[in-house]
Amino acid sequence: MNSEGLEARITRLEDIEEINKLQKIYGYYLDNGMYDKAVDLFSDNTDSVEVGDRGVFLGKEGARKFLLGYMGRYGNTPPPGTMLTHMQLQGVVDVDPGGNTAKGRWYCWMIQAHPSIEPGVPRAAWGFGVYENEYVKEDGKWKFKKLYCNITFRTPYEDGWVKTPVVAEGRAEGADGPPTAYSPYPNQKLVPFHWKHPVTGE
C-alpha cells in the first residue's frame, strides 16, 4: 500500500470513529434531556427523523420539532420518577467511497421509567428497536442526515413484550406525516441492512 492509500485508509477509520462518537453522544443527550444540544448534531440539510409510530419529521426544523417539541414536551422538568435510557449497541458503520456520506445501523435497548404508559404515574418499561441512519460530513464535522428507528417493542417491565408488546402508541403532535414503516412484535419485519455481504458482496 502506498502512502496515498494508507492516508485514505486512516481517514476512513477516523471517520468511522467520529460517527461512532456522534451516535453515542446523541444517546447521552437524549437520556439527559439535553435536546437543544441534540438538535445541533443534525445537518442543516437533514432529510428526516422517524422513530417508531411517532411519524416523520422533515428537515432540520423537523429534527427540532421532534427533539424540542415532542421529546422535550416536559421542558427541563419531566414528571417525577421519569428515566429515559437508550443504549446503542452493535454498531456497523460504512463510509461511502467519497468520504462525505455514511450509513450506520445500531440496536437500541431502552430501560425507562416511562411517564406516558399511565399518565402521571411513571412505570418501569423495556424497549427495543433498530436504527438505520445516514450521516453527512459538513465543514469537517459528521452530522446526522437521516435518523430512522423502528421500535420492536415498548412494554411495561412487569408484563414483558409477549404479553404487552407496545404501550403509549400513537403519532406525535407536530409530525409532518405518518410513519413510513412500523411493524412491532409479534409482526416485526427486518429493517433492511444498508450494507452488502462482506464475503459474497451480495
Kindly report the backbone phi and psi dihedral angles of residue 55, in degrees, each rounded to the nearest multiple of 5, phi listed first.
105, 175
Residue, of 74 and 107, whose pLDDT is higher: 107
pLDDT, the chain, mean = 91
Q: What is the CATH number of domain 3-156?
A: 3.10.450.50
Query: Looking at residues 15-29, what average pLDDT do you find?
Result: 97
Kindly report the backbone phi and psi dihedral angles of residue 154, in degrees, each rounded to the nearest multiple of 5, phi listed first.
-145, 100
- pLDDT single digits (tens) 23-56: 999 999 999 989 999 999 999 999 999 999 999 9
* pLDDT interval class at 115 (50, 70, 90): low
> What is the per-residue DSSP string for 19-30?
HHHHHHHHHHHH
Is residue 114's pLDDT more than 90?
no
Q: Lowest-confidence range among 1-15, 26-40, 113-127? A: 113-127
Query: Looking at residues 13-23, what average pLDDT do you find?
Result: 97
Q: How far apart are CA 172 and CA 67, in angstroms?
A: 11
**Three-class DSSP category at 18:** helix
* pLDDT interval class at 76 (50, 70, 90): low
User: Vertex 42, ends 105 and 39: CA angle to 5°?
Assistant: 115
Q: Lowest-confidence range among 19-33, 65-79, 99-113? A: 65-79
Where exactly are the structural domains of the chain? 3-156
Range among 21-25, 70-74, 123-127, 179-183 with highest mean pLDDT value:
21-25
Is residue 78's pLDDT more than 80?
no
Region label for 121, one of left (φ > 0), alpha (ψ between -120 and 50) or beta (otherwise): beta
Tell me the whole-structure pTM to 2 decimals: 0.93
- pLDDT single digits (tens) 141-184: 999 999 999 999 999 999 999 999 988 778 898 999 999 989 99
Please tell me the predicted confidence (pLDDT) of residue 177: 96
Which residues on neighbouring strands pair with residue 57, listed in sequence order?
49
User: Vertex 123, ends 164 and 81: CA angle to 5°?
Assistant: 160
Please tell me the predicted confidence (pLDDT) of residue 72: 85
Sheet of 48-51, strands arranged across: 56-58, 48-51, 141-156, 123-138, 101-114, 83-95
Grid cell locating 83: 428515566
